[in-house]
Structure 1
């Protein structure tokens, strides 16, 4: 089978579309995950982060979004805990979605107390044990949280795929 060479713009038009997000995974000093409650989807807990802007790297996105959503300025080095890929985000999202979850380290009680939420994006933040999060989150979101927490604990990286992991 032979393929004709296409100019880059034409070739790119044939490829699947994708959006990308990046976030920081924090725990408190006792190892309890820190999450934000989204205003647009009640009961949807998430990490500080969001969609990439044009020309931005995943790391730059994670830092910017964390600052915008919590007021926290993270100065650590990038350490990837996981990558997430899904093709199924519902009929109203006609693109693949790719995520990068970075290790934000531990937050002190003082840092947590200083969090200032953007009320347009999040209505609350919480620090809970994994057992407490499991009772509060939907199963597929909790599986993602638990996998990222395990990756941090082992020093590894996890790859998550499909809507079931999201």
Structure 2
């Protein structure tokens, strides 16, 4: 179609579609990552977050999802740690693009006050990277480790998943 002009609505229909998510990487005061066990898949550990709603930014999404999933309203400034790209996988028919933000360090009191949405998560866990490595898939742990490194080095990383883990 080179050289052929399409009206915006027709051109947009030709573009790849993507779902966008926002989430917060949080740790305890000793920098041990906090994760939530997914209710629908006991082997899956996640950060507080989820898919973006219409008229919402990835940052707003991450904050909203954190409140919905943990009851915590975090007063942190937006600081991007990673962008995560996934192609259509399994039954998911669109690309997925994630924005992982630094949610800060939580006190013991904050962690103890977490109230999970039982439809989404069954457990909160705070563990060292060495322990998480033994309990997560290789692909999921690599993402966790890269994001922890980005926070430690005050950088941003790009993560791309090209095949089913």
Structure 1 residue 86, shift from structure 2 partner: 1.1
Q: TM-score, normalising length from structure 1?
A: 0.96
1:72 aligns with 2:72: yes
Q: TM-score, normalising length from structure 2?
A: 0.96
How many residues of Structure 1 are paired with residues of Structure 2 in the alignment?
Answer: 165
Match of 1:125 in 2: 124
List per-residue Cα deviations over 1:46-83 (Å, max 9, x = no partner): 00000000111000000000000000001110000000
Task: Indicate how the Cα distance of structure 1 residues 157 and 19 shifts in structure 2: closer, same or farther if over 3 A, else same.
Answer: same
Match of 2:143 in 1: 144
Contact 1:140 / 1:165 at 8 angstroms: preserved in 2? Answer: no
4+ long deviations beyond 2 Å: 163-166
Which consecutive unaligned segments of at least 5 residues does structure 2 have? none
Contact 2:85 / 2:159 at 8 angstroms: preserved in 1? Answer: yes
**Higher mean C-alpha deviation, range 28-37 or range 1-10:** 1-10
- 2-structure distance, mates of 1:163, 1:157: 20
Match of 2:156 in 1: 157
- 1-structure distance, mates of 2:164, 2:105: 24
Which consecutive unaligned segments of at least 5 residues does structure 1 have? none
- 1-structure distance, mates of 2:41, 2:86: 19
